[in-house]
C-alpha cells in the first residue's frame, strides 16, 4: 500500500502524553505534563455550565462569539495598550494548538524558511514541516537562555517567511528581554518577514519581570500574529479555547485555515472565557502570586537536593540540571528512573529539540496543590539520596 503522510507517520507520541501515561502506570505524582490540579475559577465554569443548559448550542459564528472577540480586544488594550478591532483582527480557535496550526498553514508554504528557537514547544516543528516549509533552528542555552545576536542574524535569509517565538517560553521559563525583542523586530523588518508569537503564558510572569508582546514594538503591529490560550489564563487546560490577534490582512487567510480545521469552538466555553477575560485585575494578580509562591515552594528544596535550579521568570515550569547529582545517564533515563523509583514524573528537556539538545535537564511543572508539591519533594529527597553528589 502507498505510504501515509511522512511527517506524521512514525512520529513519536508527544512527551507530555507519554510521561502522563507513565505517571499513571506507576501511580506517580505527575509534575510532567503542564496542567493545574485545581480547576480554574468557579464563576467562569458556572457561566459555561449555565450556557450549556440554556443554549444556544449550535454553531457560533466562524470567527468566534462577538462577546469573546470583544473581550480579547479589550484584554489586549487593558494589559498591553494594543488597539485591536475585534471584528477584523480577532479569531477564536479550539486552543492555542489550533491557533498555531491555522497561523502556520495560512502563512507559509514550500520554499519558505521558518525560524524556530530551540528548545521549542513540540507541535511547532511538525506543523512547519507539514506546511512544507523548511525549519531553521536557533538555540538558546542554559542557564540564561539568552538569544545570541549573531546566531539569530545568521538564521535569517531572503527565504525567511516567519519566526515563531514563544514568550514567556516553555520549557525554559524565560521572559524575553526588551533588547532581545528589539533584535527580533529589527531582523523581521530588515528581512520583511512575520512573527508568530505564542504568548499563552502572557499572564504568568513573575514579579520584576515584564511581559512585552512583540506586537507592541514599533513596526511590528502589522507583522505579528499573537496567540493566547484560556487554558493557561484560567487554569482550564481541557477547554481548549485559544485566540489569535493579527492585522486584518493576516487574519483573513488565518480565518480561512481555521474554517477548515475546526470552523468553530463550543459556544458555552466561548461565553465563559469572554466573562473570564473581563475579570478584575485582582484575578490576574492572584494567578501570578499563587504560581510564584509555588515556584518558590519547590525551587529551594530542589536546589538543596543537588539540582541546579535554573531561573524561572514566567510560565509554570522550572527546569533543573541534574548533572551535579552523580546520576549517570541522560535526561530521558533520569525521568524514567525517577517516575519508576521516586514516583514523580517530569519531562526531559531533550524532547523540546528538533536537533541535538542538552542531555541533563528536566522540567518540573509546579501548578499543583502545595501538599502535592510537598509530597513530591519528600519522594525526591529520599530518592536523590542514593546518588553520590559530584
Ligand atoms: N503553546 C505552548 C507554549 C504551550 O505550552 C501550550 C500548552 N499546552 C500550547 C501552546 C497549547 O495550548 P492549548 O492547550 O490552548 O492548545
Ligand atoms: N503545554 C503542555 C506542557 O508543556 C502540554 C500540552 C499537551 O500535552 N499537549 O506540558
Sheet holding 308-309, edge to edge: 308-309, 317-321, 361-365, 347-348
Percent of the chain beyond pLDDT 90? 97
What SS3 string covers 134-172?
EEEEEECECCCCECCHHHHHHHCCCCEEEEEEECCECCC
Q: Are 91 and 244 in contact (CB under 8 A)?
A: yes
Q: 136 forms bridges with which residues in the sheet?
A: 115
pLDDT, position 22 = 95
Q: Are 84 and 245 in contact (CB under 8 A)?
A: yes
pLDDT, position 386 = 84
Alpha-carbon distances, residue 345 vs 329, 361, 363 (angstroms): 17, 14, 9
Determine the average pLDDT of the residues in 292-315: 97
Q: Is the CB of 32 under 6 A from ligand 2?
A: no
pLDDT at 21 over 80: yes
- The closest-lying atom of ligand 2 relative to the alpha carbon of residue 32 is 10
Centre of ligand 1 to C-alpha 96, Å, is 5
Residues with CB under 6 A from ligand 1: 34, 95-97, 121, 166, 170, 198, 200, 229, 231, 237, 240, 242
pLDDT, position 207 = 86
pTM over the 0.75 mark: yes
Determine the average pLDDT of the residues in 335-363: 96
Characterize the bridge pairing of strands 113-118 and 90-93. Answer: unpaired
Q: Is the CB of 383 under 6 A from ligand 2?
A: no
pLDDT, position 390 = 56
Q: Is the CB of 166 under 6 A from ligand 2?
A: no
Task: Identify the sign of the CA torsion 176, 179, 180, 182.
Answer: positive
Q: Alpha helices, DSSP H only, in 278-369?
A: 281-304, 331-337
Sheet holding 224-229, edge to edge: 90-93, 242-245, 224-229, 194-198, 160-166, 113-118, 134-139
Determine the average pLDDT of the residues in 296-306: 97
Question: In degrees to the nearest 10, what's the CA dihedral of 261, 266, 267, 272?
Answer: -120
pLDDT at 241 over 80: yes
pLDDT, position 9 = 96
Task: Identify the sign of the CA torsion 95, 98, 103, 108.
Answer: positive
Residue 229 CA: which ligand is closest? 1
Centre of ligand 1 to C-alpha 236, Å, is 12
Q: 340 forms bridges with which residues in the sheet?
A: none
- The closest-lying atom of ligand 2 relative to the alpha carbon of residue 237 is 6
pLDDT at 389 over 70: no
Determine the average pLDDT of the residues in 92-98: 98
Higher-pLDDT residue of 273, 13: 273
289 HSE (CA, 13 A, CB side): 6
Centre of ligand 1 to C-alpha 223, Å, is 22
Q: 242 forms bridges with which residues in the sheet?
A: 93, 229
Please state, rounded to an integer, the average pLDDT across all residues of the chain: 97
Alpha-carbon distances, residue 314 vs 27, 60, 172, 180, 186 (angstroms): 29, 34, 9, 16, 25
DSSP one-letter string for 68-130: HHHHHHHHHHHHH-----TTTSEEEESHHHHHHHHHHHHH--TT-EEEEEES--THHHHHHHH
Q: Is the CB of 34 under 6 A from ligand 2?
A: yes
pLDDT, position 326 = 87
Rg (CA), the chain: 21
In tens, the pLDDT along 205-227 reads 998 899 999 999 999 999 999 99
Amino acid at each position: 500500500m502507498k505510504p501515509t503522510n511522512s511527517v506524521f507517520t512514525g512520529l513519536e507520541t508527544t512527551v507530555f502524553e507519554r510521561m502522563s501515561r507513565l505517571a499513571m502506570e506507576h501511580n506517580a505524582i505527575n509534575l510532567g505534563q503542564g496542567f493545574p490540579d485545581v480547576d480554574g475559577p468557579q464563576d467562569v465554569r458556572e457561566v459555561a455550565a449555565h450556557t450549556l443548559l440554556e443554549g444556544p448550542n449550535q454553531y457560533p459564528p466562524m470567527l468566534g462569539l462577538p462577546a469573546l472577540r470583544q473581550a480579547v480586544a479589550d484584554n489586549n488594550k487593558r494589559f498591553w495598550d494594543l488597539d485591536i478591532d475585534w471584528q477584523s483582527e480577532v479569531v477564536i480557535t479550539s486552543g492555542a494548538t489550533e491557533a498555531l496550526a491555522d497561523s502556520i498553514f495560512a502563512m507559509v508554504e514550500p520554499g519558505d524558511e521558518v525560524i524556530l528557537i530551540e528548545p521549542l514547544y513540540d507541535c511547532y516543528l511538525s506543523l512547519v514541516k507539514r506546511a512544507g516549509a523548511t525549519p531553521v533552528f536557533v538555540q538558546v542555552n542554559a542557564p540564561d537562555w539568552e538569544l545570541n545576536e549573531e546566531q539569530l542574524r545568521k538564521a535569517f535569509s531572503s527565504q525567511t517567511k516567519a519566526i515563531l517565538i514563544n514568550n514567556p517560553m516553555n520549557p525554559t521559563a524565560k521572559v524575553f528581554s526588551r533588547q532581545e525583542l528589539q533584535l527580533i523586530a529589527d531582523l523581521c523588518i530588515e528581512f520583511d518577514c512575520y512573527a508568530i508569537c505564542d504568548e499563552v503564558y502572557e499572564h504568568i510572569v513573575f514579579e520584576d519581570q515584564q511581559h512585552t508582546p512583540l506586537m507592541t514594538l514599533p513596526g511590528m503591529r502589522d507583522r505579528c500574529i499573537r496567540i493566547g490560550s484560556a487554558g493557561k489564563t484560567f487554569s482550564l487546560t481541557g477547554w481548549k479555547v485559544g485566540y489569535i490577534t493579527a492585522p486584518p490582512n493576516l487574519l483573513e487567510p488565518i480565518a480561512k485555515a481555521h474554517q477548515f480545521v475546526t470552523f468553530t469552538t463550543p459556544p458555552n466555553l466561548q461565553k465563559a472565557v469572554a466573562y473570564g477575560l473581563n475579570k478584575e485585575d485582582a484575578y490576574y494578580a492572584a494567578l501570578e502570586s499563587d504560581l510564584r509562591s509555588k515556584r518558590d515552594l519547590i525551587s529551594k528544596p530542589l536546589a538543596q537536593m543537588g539540582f541546579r535550579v535554573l531561573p524561572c521568570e514566567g510560565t509554570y515550569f522550572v527546569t533543573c540540571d541534574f548533572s551535579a547529582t552523580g546520576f549517570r545517564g541522560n535526561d530521558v533515563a533520569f525521568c524514567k528512573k525517577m517516575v519508576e523509583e521516586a514516583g514523580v514524573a517530569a519531562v526531559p528537556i531533550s524532547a523540546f529539540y528538533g536537533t541535538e539538545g542538552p542531555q541533563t535537564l528536566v522540567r518540573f511543572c509546579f501548578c499543583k496543590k502545595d501538599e502535592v508539591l510537598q509530597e513530591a519533594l519528600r519522594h525526591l529527597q529520599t530518592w536523590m539520596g542514593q546518588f553520590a553528589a559530584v
